[in-house]
């Protein structure tokens, strides 16, 4: 069976929107502290921004270019855009109701009022006008829209106030339009939450509301008929041809400057906006009715996160979590001595990212370190890793860094770090033509005794100390010779002229990673056909690749028991009669963003376990340099099966199960409640990974409709 029926596949874009609905579900969760709910509310909005900037923009470009190519689900670009608009309108309406009915009243009940200009007291109106006059008015530039003043090119995601005006008095020209449009951009550099006087607690008015309230001051001689906030989202993707570019860095810098001139793809309007303003704005932005999204909530929910800085009450937020340092790395003089003896696994953010930074800082100062090589896809603005690499050059080390300057939405940050490191003497390269380098790899070459030892760090996440406290990811430190050989060959390929070798232990995209994944799936299918136990457990962010999905369908038909932990997009349709009955897909959305990729193949006492920087998507297999690496230490392998896969599969609080119709339903809370991230935080607090009954407690806490962890994750003897 070829599994070519489009009905067997869920559309990628609609699956992503289902994920964002699950994010919004956490904003609905009344068991969470109020500010945690507000955080998820803002994240869902921010996610939609990127979705429109990249995915919707891409579909609009396909439609304009007449591209009729379809994915495995068979939907054409026009069909996808229509379905997206319908789904997003429902999502925005739901978010608006959540704000009006729960979040805004919840803040008020907690003594933190977010006001609107139509409900201000006289005292508050006076305070707002004073703030406007003294702190806002001088920074504003009112922009008329008429034949002599074309509609301004508003920056992507900028918040603006549209003002409908008419000329005062009888001196209006007879043929003049009855109303004129003007636009005022809300300065992002000013404070967005303006404090208002209130008898008790705290009260704020958003800056856009202040400007709308005082708009008449900007247009003397005119009467303000109507004001409304609006926001424009633009195509934000880069258009770069690596092969045609002689200087990739300069080309991308030029593209970044052109970004803000991208075509508009979405118009967000305050729900109270007049039909006339909507008509004028859509005409100016060349958008249609399906591109307009009205909402009662603030158009930039991220502005509300400023409340965390002014309201310190702990009951409104989650308890701070401090990542642990594992005992094996505590109070050691050097990481090199520990890693020389054994492989080390870190599970972030439950365990600190500091040892990863420390590895590079030690390497920079150690006189026996000869060379450091690293890939950088995303890093923090004030990166201790980049500083350590520059320091290493000052100390005479050979340092080569591949900086991926095409990392979407981080291009400017990465260009800045590339420039700084180049100035300090780091050898910076930008990778292979036509490919993004997404692999997370460090190689340290150290002189020891009469020879050389190489130390390797392989990760599932970015070298970013900030996001390492927010994302769940995995770090593996090793000095195994065959892995070091492969990593050395990988860097030679990335920085010089070298044909991809026959990899000893790694699987590398685009030179065979997809083929390795398919062979591992097919191996389990062959076992099942022979009547042997067969099992696949895979954790990733997204599952899109149609070839891999078809292989999973074939494995399910053959009798392989398959559990997929897919946080975000999943185009596989589980539970299909005769096709995917043995496949379960679970998504966990919680305090930390699930980001690690772990794959286990085998139902016996010793399953094969891999970790990777790559999701199972066409872009990861074909258009990126990615690495999948085996876990060879038995204790680490068992820990991954138990802690990363087993605990997540036992979750019956935050887990959602994908249904055959594409919807997600809660797993169910029968029996003891297991919230996987809470379990792992508690383990980290105890700072012990030798739980005497790591699975036994969970075995009794799993929902009845789900297999027990012992079935889900086979235990090993090691």
In order, the DSSP letters of 375-441 are EESS--TT-HHHHHHHHHHHTT-EEEEEE-TT-TT-HHHHHHHHHHHHHHT-EEE--STT-EE--EE
CA distances from 551 to 1, 4, 339, 644, 655 (A): 11, 12, 37, 24, 25
The two structure tokens encoding residue 571: 């185009």
Q: Following DSSP, what letter does each residue of 93-117 receive, concatenated?
A: HHHHHHIIIIIHHHHHHTTEEEE-G
**What are the residues whose beta carbons fall under 8 Å from the beta carbon of 299, sequence distance 6 or more?**
159, 208, 229, 230, 231, 268, 270
Burial category of 448 from C-beta neighbours within 10 Å (exposed 0-12, middle 13-18, buried 19 and up): exposed
Contact in structure between 418 and 412 (CB atoms under 8 Å): no
CA distances from 478 to 270, 328, 472, 487, 526 (A): 54, 14, 20, 11, 32
What 8-state DSSP symbol labels residue 146? B
Distance CA 42, CA 315 (A): 19
Contact between 572 and 541 (Cβ < 8 Å):
no
From 221, 323, 237, select the one nearest 61 (Cα to Cα): 237
Residue 582 main-chain phi, psi, to 5 deg: -95, 10
Is 89 considered catalytic here? no
How many CB atoms neighbour CB 674 within 10 A? 25
Pairing verdict, β 202-206 and 112-115: parallel
Rounded CA-CA distance 601/567 in Å is 20
What single DSSP character describes residue 315?
G
Instruction: Pick the catalytic residue from 348, 438, 457, 595.
Output: 438
Q: What is the DSSP string of 150-186?
A: PPP-PPTT-EEEEEEEEE-STTS-TTS-S-EEEEEE-
d(CA 90, CA 293): 10
The Cα 372–Cα 352 span in angstroms is 22
| Spatial separation of the C-alpha atoms in residues 33 and 28, rounded to whole Å | 11
Residue 311 tokens, joined: 């309201």
- The CA–CA distances, whole Å, from 19 to 47, 53, 340, 570, 624 equal 10, 17, 42, 9, 24
Calculate the CA 687 to chain-centre distance.
28
Residue 322 DSSP one-character state:
-
CA angle centred on 103, ends 314 and 233, rounded to 5°? 110
Q: How does 364-393 read in b/e, with b if 16+ C-beta sit within 10 Å?
A: bebeebebbbbbbbbbbeebbbbbbbbbbb
**Active site residues per annotation:** 438
């Amino acid at each position: 069976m070829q599994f070519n029926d489009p009905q067997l596949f869920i559309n990628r874009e609609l699956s992503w929107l289902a994920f964002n609905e699950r994010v919004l579900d956490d904003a609905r969760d009344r068991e969470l502290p109020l500010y945690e709910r507000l955080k998820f509310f803002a994240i869902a909005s921010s996610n939609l921004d990127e979705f429109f900037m990249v995915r919707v923009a891409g579909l609009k470009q396909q439609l304009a270019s007449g591209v009729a190519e379809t994915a495995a689900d068979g939907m054409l670009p026009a069909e996808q855009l229509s379905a997206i608009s319908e789904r997003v309108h429902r999502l925005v309406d739901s978010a608006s109701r959540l704000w009006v009915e729960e979040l805004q009243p919840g803040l008020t009940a907690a003594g933190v009022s977010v006001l609107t200009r139509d409900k201000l007291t006289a005292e508050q109106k006076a305070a707002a006008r004073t703030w406007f006059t003294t702190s806002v008015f001088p920074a504003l530039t009112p922009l008329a829209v008429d034949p002599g003043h074309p509609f301004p090119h508003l920056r992507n995601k900028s918040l603006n106030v549209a003002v409908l005006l008419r000329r005062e008095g009888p001196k209006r020209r007879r043929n003049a339009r009855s109303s004129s449009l003007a636009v005022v951009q809300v300065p992002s550099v000013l404070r967005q939450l303006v404090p208002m006087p209130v008898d008790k607690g705290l009260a704020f008015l958003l800056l856009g509301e202040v400007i709308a309230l005082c708009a008449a001051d900007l247009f003397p001689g005119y009467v303000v008929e109507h004001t409304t906030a609006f926001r424009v989202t633009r195509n934000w993707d880069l258009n770069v041809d690596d092969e045609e570019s002689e200087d990739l860095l300069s080309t991308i810098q030029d593209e970044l400057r052109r970004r803000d001139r991208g075509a508009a793809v979405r118009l967000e309007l305050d729900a109270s906006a007049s039909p006339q303003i909507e008509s004028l704005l859509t005409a100016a932005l060349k958008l249609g009715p399906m591109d307009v999204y009205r909402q009662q909530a603030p158009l930039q929910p991220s502005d509300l996160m400023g409340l965390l800085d002014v309201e310190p009450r702990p009951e409104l937020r989650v308890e701070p979590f401090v990542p642990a340092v594992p005992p094996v790395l505590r109070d050691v003089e050097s990481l090199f001595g520990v890693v020389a003896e054994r492989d080390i696994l870190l599970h972030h953010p439950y365990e600190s990212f500091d040892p990863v930074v420390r590895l590079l800082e030690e390497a920079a100062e150690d006189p026996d370190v000869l060379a450091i090589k690293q890939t950088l896809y995303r890093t923090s603005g004030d990166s201790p890793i980049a500083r350590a690499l520059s320091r290493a050059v000052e100390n005479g080390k050979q340092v080569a860094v591949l900086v991926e300057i095409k990392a979407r939405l981080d291009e400017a940050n990465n260009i800045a770090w590339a420039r700084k490191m180049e100035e300090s003497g780091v050898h910076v390269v930008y990778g292979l033509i036509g490919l993004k380098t997404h692999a997370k790899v460090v190689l340290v070459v150290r002189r020891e005794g009469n020879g050389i030892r190489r130390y390797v760090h392989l990760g599932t996440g970015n070298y970013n100390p900030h996001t390492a406290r927010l994302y769940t990811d995995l770090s593996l430190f090793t000095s195994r010779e065959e892995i070091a050989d492969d990593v050395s060959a990988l860097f030679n390929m990335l920085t010089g002229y070298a044909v991809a070798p026959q990899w000893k232990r790694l699987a590398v995209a685009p030179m065979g990673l997809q083929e390795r994944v398919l062979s591992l799936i097919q191996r389990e299918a062959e076992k099942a056909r022979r009547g042997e136990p067969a099992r696949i457990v895979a954790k990733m962010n997204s599952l899109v690749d149609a070839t891999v999905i078809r292989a999973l369908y074939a494995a399910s038909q053959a009798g392989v028991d398959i559990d997929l932990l897919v946080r975000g997009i999943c185009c596989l349709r589980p539970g299909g009669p005769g096709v995917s009955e043995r496949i379960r897909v679970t998504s966990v959305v919680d305090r930390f963003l699930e980001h690690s990729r772990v794959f286990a193949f085998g139902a016996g006492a010793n399953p094969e376990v891999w970790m990777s920087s790559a999701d199972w998507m066409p872009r990861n297999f074909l258009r990126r340099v990615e690495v999948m690496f085996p876990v060879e230490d038995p204790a680490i392998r068992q820990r991954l099966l138990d802690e990363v896969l087993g605990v997540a599969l036992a979750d019956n609080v935050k887990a959602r199960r994908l249904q055959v119709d594409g919807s997600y339903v809660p797993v169910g809370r029968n029996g003891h409640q297991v919230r996987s991230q809470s379990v792992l935080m508690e383990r980290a607090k105890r700072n012990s990974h030798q739980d005497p009954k790591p699975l036994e407690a969970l075995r009794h806490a799993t929902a009845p409709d789900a297999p027990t962890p012992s079935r889900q994750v086979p235990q090993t003897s090691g």
